[in-house]
Amino acid sequence: MKGAHSAYTVDLTEQRIETSVLPKTPYNSPILVISGSFGSIQIAVEYEQLAEIEFALKEHMNGIPYPKENPPAEEVIA
């Protein structure tokens, strides 16, 4: 399907989701599955593509500034 382009947007922000990967079989590529109350999304990929997805997610998560823990009350008062 070279040259074919599709864009799908699914808003999962208010959903509880489960993710899994169905392993490669003699008949199918590995399948990335995202399931929730909305149903499921299944994306057939190759292992190299799964690695690219993993890398992109890790890079994004590493760039998120997490809130710092609250300092002890003694430090706030001083």
For residue 26, the model assigns a pLDDT of 95
State the amino acid at position 24 in one-letter form. Answer: K
Q: What is the pLDDT of residues 38-68, one digit of tens each?
A: 899 999 999 999 999 999 999 999 988 877 7
State the amino acid at position 46 in one-letter form. Answer: E
Which residues, listed in sequence order, are joined to residue 35 by a DSSP beta bridge?
Answer: 18, 40
Mean pLDDT across the chain:
86
CA distance 48 to 56: 13
Domain definitions of the chain by residue range: 18-65
CA distance 49 to 30: 10
